[in-house]
Every structure is written in C-alpha cells, then in structure tokens.
Amino acid sequence: MKETVKILCKNNGQSYDVAIGSSLLEVLQTLNLQLPYPIVSAKVNNRSEGLRFRLYNNKDIEFLDLRQSSGMRTYVRSLCFVLYKAVRTLFPKGILRVEHPVSKGYYCNLFLDRPLKAEDVAAIKRQMERIIAENLPFERHECHTDEVIRLFNAQGLSDKVKLLETSGSLYSYYNSCGDTIDFYYGNLLPSTGYLRLWDILPYDEGILLRIPNKEQPDRLEEIIKQEKMLEVFKEHLHWNQLMGLNNVGDFNHLCLQGHATDLINLNEALQERKIARIAEAIASRSADGSGGVKLVLISGPSSSGKTTFSKRLSIQLMTCGLRPYPISLDNYFVNREETPLDAQGNYDYESLYALDLKLFNDQLQALLRGEEVELPTFNFTTGRKEYKGERLRIDQNTILVLEGIHALNPELTPDIPDGKKFKVYVSALTTISLDNHNWIPTTDNRLLRRIIRDYKYRNYSAQQTISRWPSVRAGEDKWIFPYQENADMMFNSAMLYELAVLRSHAEPILSSVPQNCPEYAEAYRLLKFIRYFTPVQDKEIPPTSLLREFLGGSSFKY
C-alpha cells in the first residue's frame, strides 16, 4: 500500500490524500482548480514555496496566481533568470545588474566593453524567446556553502560569492536553468515555459524589463514616465559605486572590517548635504517679491520619513534666512459625518476629499494676501474641527511647510499659483541589492520601518501591521504615486546601512508572528531576507537621523 499524506487545499476548502513525496505541481494536476489566471506558486503552512516543493507531511496549501505579491515575485525572479541566461549566452563577459523598479517595470543595466545598442536588446529578446520556447526546468540544488562559493567563483560571479561568504550558513543553495547557474533568494517557476507575458526594451542607458499587471495579469503593465525617479536612483547608485558598495556582500565585508561607523557618518552627511541643497533651491525662489515661493509641499508614501525630513528641511531653511511655519493637513479634515466612504462602506480617511479643500485654500490665499487667519485644530475624539485662537499672519521671510500624502496632488492647491509652490517628494528608494540579480524592493524597506515604529509607539504587532499593509499600498497607488513626478525635487530617505540596523530591531518582532496566521508568510520572507545583512548596532546613529523617527532616540518632537 502506497503511503499518503493529507493536504487541505485552502482554495476550495477540500482535504485530499496524496502520495507522500508528491510535488505541488503533481497535486495541482489532480485537483482541477479553477483560478482566473495560471497558478505560479503556493503557500504551504503559510510559507511561500515553488511548485516543485515536495510533500512529506500533512500540509495546508493555498495555490497562488500573479494577483498575489508572492506569485508575482516568483514570476519576476524567473524572468530575470531567463534574462541573465540570454545575456550570458550572447555576451559572456557582460555584467547584468537588475537595479530597481521604475516605470512599472524593472530597470536593468548591462555593462559591456561598449555602449548598449537597441539591436543588442532586440537580440537578447530573441534569445529569451528561444529559452522560453524550450521550456527548460528551473532546478534548485543544495550543498555545502564552500561548494556553492566554488561554483560561483568559477563563473566569475563575485557578487554572489561575497554574499555567501558573509552569510554564516553551513549549507546554501543555487539555481540552474540548463547549463546556467545563478542564485535567487525566493521561489522560481517550474520551467521557463510558464513565462507567457513579458517584454524588454531599451530604456535610458539600459533595459526596461516589463512585467504583467498585478490586477489584470493577462496584460502588461503600462509604461509611465518616471524620469525624475530614475535620476534619483542613478545619483545614489553613483554614490554607492564611489564607495565600492554595489551589493550587500560588499557592505558586509566593510562592516566586518570595522567600517560600519564610517558608513553611517558618510550616509548621514550625504543626506544632510541633499537637504541643504533643497533648502537653497527653495530659498533662491522664495521671499523674492510677490512671485516667490511661499509654500513648501512635502509628500511621500508611508514610512518614507516625511516628518523628520520636514523638520530637518525647516532647520536648513532657517540657515537660509527664512522662517518656516508648519501647517498640518490633519487639521483640515472635514467633520467625520462628511467623510467619504470606501468600497466597504468605511470612512476613507486616505481620500483627498476627506479634507476641507475649500477652507484650506481660502486660508492659504488669505495668508498670501497678507491677511491674518485663525487656524483650525481637528479633534480626533469628537471628529470635528475646533478653533483655539491660533492665529497666523505671514511676512516676507515666512515660508509655510506642509507635509502630507496629498501634498503633490494638483487638486489640493488648485488656486495657488505654481510660482508660489515648491514641491518635494520623499521616499525610501533602496539602492543596494543583495547581488547583481536580486534587488531589494523599496516597499520592504518601508514595511520594516513601519513594523518597528508601530510596535514601539502604536502598540501594533507585526501581524497587524502586515495585515494592513495591502490597503496602505492601495492608497499609495491611488493618491501618492501618480503625482510623484510633479515634484520640483526628490529626496531619497533610504540609507545604505539602515537594513543592517533594522535587523536587530525587526527580528524579535517578526519572529513573534504565529505560523497559523496568513501574515506569517510575509514575516518569514522578511526575516529570511534581512538576515543576509551583517547586523549593525544603532548607538552611532545621530539623534537627528531620519532613522530615529522609527527606532526612537530622536532629538525632534513628533
């Protein structure tokens, strides 16, 4: 009698007995599941696994398609492997770097002994199509770390060697596709034939890897212009290269050599220099007659560090001879019963129309005319605006500093002339990669910040924060990201050293997420990823650091 294990398929709520050692792919072929889009991976006991994962014990299984973040990551990683295999075939001495998300795709640099040409990209695309048509399997191999290092050294993949040398792991794994080996820190598809929708095209000086749309995976993401965002990434990547820090392996080696404090001091100095430049740009356009800038608008997604940035910018504005005055958008909420509702019938506080736009613009215009106004205060207990005698009149040297998620939305200040506004977009744009082919999503950086801050200051568990994160991201997609290119200047709040510092704070919080909840999969993924960083203590981080907003110990009041 053939031994079996019992599985619970969470997609249909049914239990099945399957042969021990069966792969998820073999199980899937017997279930006849009807999902709207092709299945690409699964959660097994709330851990993300590839479809080649084999079952030796009873398991809960949820099959995933591209609409789930875990499924999309599996798809994109596999696509990157095919891209690398094609490049390796056509340009054996070329170096491919998958650098960062931009324009609803992934920006990749290909370093050759000459500039990349459009015909090179076309040749790479044809080679990728051939690899996909062959339906080559993606295989995973586990062996002693020293053996994996030897294999990567033989292939000249020093970025992966440095990462593994500092991992502290006795055993490691590598991936193969045909005769090409690589390493990806998450699941891959069963084979190349699963990659049915994708594209590549020349973009700036490199390649844009196009991927399916998450909501409608049967169509490609629409390309949007993000020239300013690309320039910020390029600026910070240039700084990284000057310091010899392209990847986490480089960073870990420097820390192990005792240079962590130097990296902290350098990163903090670079950020302060950038904030000073933004303040100087504002000063050059402000307090200069009736046409000068009088309103600084600061926007950015959750946990991007907008609040600390606005405080540090205000200090720099004062060094330029200006008198910054903060105005909180939170005080301009409409009375609670007037708040718009979301699709579930709940108050939608993220909506632009949760703000009293008329009152806000009337008061701004009055201030710009030199009149005195009484500023409101919103009482979050009663859900109503109150007036407590806070009066304001601005003079030639006063500049209003407004920070909020809607700050760059043109509908917030439609009646204020553009010449009187200076717009700044703040985000944590992670520019260090695990290795040349494994980027670090900027959302992971922000999510880790938020998990730590919510736990320390809002009494939220990691499970609660992770559970809320998809709705936070949906709000950002609707109300923040479409307007980021409206900014006059962008500020990158991410620091090279921060994930190494966040590790010791995040590990115990993430480890407390129970395995029997859906959020465990994300907590486990974040733990696995952050442990690639050599931990760095936060004692050397100055009290004015933007990171103090999340860790504590800031000299600013929040």
46 and 177 share one domain: no
Torsion of CA 20, 26, 32, 38, to 10 degrees: 140
CATH number for the domain that contains residue 173 = 3.30.980.10
pLDDT tens digit sequence for 171-205: 999 999 999 999 999 999 999 999 999 999 999 99
Residue 130, amino acid: R
pLDDT at 289: 52
What pTM was computed for the model?
0.93
The answer to whether residue 207 sits within a structural domain is: yes
The answer to whether residue 178 sits within a structural domain is: yes
pLDDT at 236: 86
Residue with tokens 């115990």: 508
DSSP string computed for 198-214: -EEEEETTEEEEE-B-S
pLDDT at 287: 57
Of the ranges 61-75, 148-162, 242-256, 543-557, which one carries the lowest mean pLDDT score?
242-256
Sheet holding 138-144, edge to edge: 138-144, 171-177, 180-182
pLDDT at 241: 79
User: Which among 340, 377, 333, 375 has a CA at the least distance from the CA of 355?
Assistant: 333
- What mean pLDDT do residues 54-66 have? 96
Range of the domain at 332: 228-551
449 and 371 share one domain: yes
Using CA atoms, how far apart are residues 176 and 86, in angstroms rounded to an integer? 13
CB 434, CB 248: distance < 8 Å: yes
**Strand-strand pairing, 421-427 and 489-492:** parallel
pLDDT tens digit sequence for 227-256: 898 899 888 888 887 778 889 999 999 999
Using CA atoms, how far apart are residues 23 and 32, in angstroms rounded to an integer? 15
236 and 112 share one domain: no
**How many of the other CB atoms lie within 10 Å of CB of 196?**
11
What sign does the dihedral 105-111-116-119 (CA atoms) show?
A: negative
The answer to whether residue 542 sits within a structural domain is: yes
Find all residues with CB under 8 Å of 382, minimum gap 6, and list them: none
Last residue of some domain: 64, 85, 106?
A: 64
Return mean pLDDT, the chain: 94
145 and 261 share one domain: no
Residue 3, amino acid: E
pLDDT tens digit sequence for 402-418: 998 999 999 999 989 89
CA angle 233/237/239 to nearest 5° reads 120
User: Which among 117, 40, 131 has a CA at the least distance from the CA of 83?
Assistant: 131
The answer to whether residue 556 sits within a structural domain is: no
CATH number for the domain that contains residue 339 = 3.40.50.300
75 and 177 share one domain: yes
236 and 144 share one domain: no
139 and 112 share one domain: yes
The answer to whether residue 290 sits within a structural domain is: yes
- What mean pLDDT do residues 356-385 have? 94
The answer to whether residue 557 sits within a structural domain is: no
32 and 109 share one domain: no
pLDDT tens digit sequence for 69-97: 999 999 999 999 999 999 999 999 999 99
**How many of the other CB atoms lie within 10 Å of CB of 225?**
10
The answer to whether residue 285 sits within a structural domain is: yes
Last residue of some domain: 177, 204, 224?
A: 224
Using CA atoms, how far apart are residues 74 and 525, in angstroms rounded to an integer? 13
Does pLDDT of 44 surpass 70?
A: yes
DSSP string computed for 261-282: HHHHHHHHHHHHHHHHHHHHHH
pLDDT tens digit sequence for 420-458: 999 999 999 988 899 999 999 889 999 999 999 999 999
pLDDT at 436: 95
138 and 179 share one domain: yes
Using CA atoms, how far apart are residues 406 and 108, in angstroms rounded to an integer? 31
Task: Provide φ and ψ at 15, rounded to 5°.
Answer: -100, 145
Confidence class of residue 539 from pLDDT cuts 50, 70 and 90? very high
58 and 84 share one domain: no
207 and 282 share one domain: no
Last residue of some domain: 164, 194, 224?
A: 224
Number of domains in the chain: 3
pLDDT tens digit sequence for 451-496: 999 999 999 999 999 999 998 998 899 999 999 999 999 999 999 9
Chain-centroid distance of CA 371 in Å reads 43
Does pLDDT of 127 surpass 60?
A: yes
pLDDT tens digit sequence for 203-223: 999 999 999 999 999 999 999
CATH number for the domain that contains residue 43 = 3.10.20.30
pLDDT tens digit sequence for 250-291: 999 999 999 999 999 999 999 999 999 999 999 999 755 556
Using CA atoms, how far apart are residues 114 and 33, in angstroms rounded to an integer? 50
The answer to whether residue 180 sits within a structural domain is: yes
238 and 164 share one domain: no
Chain-centroid distance of CA 537 in Å reads 23
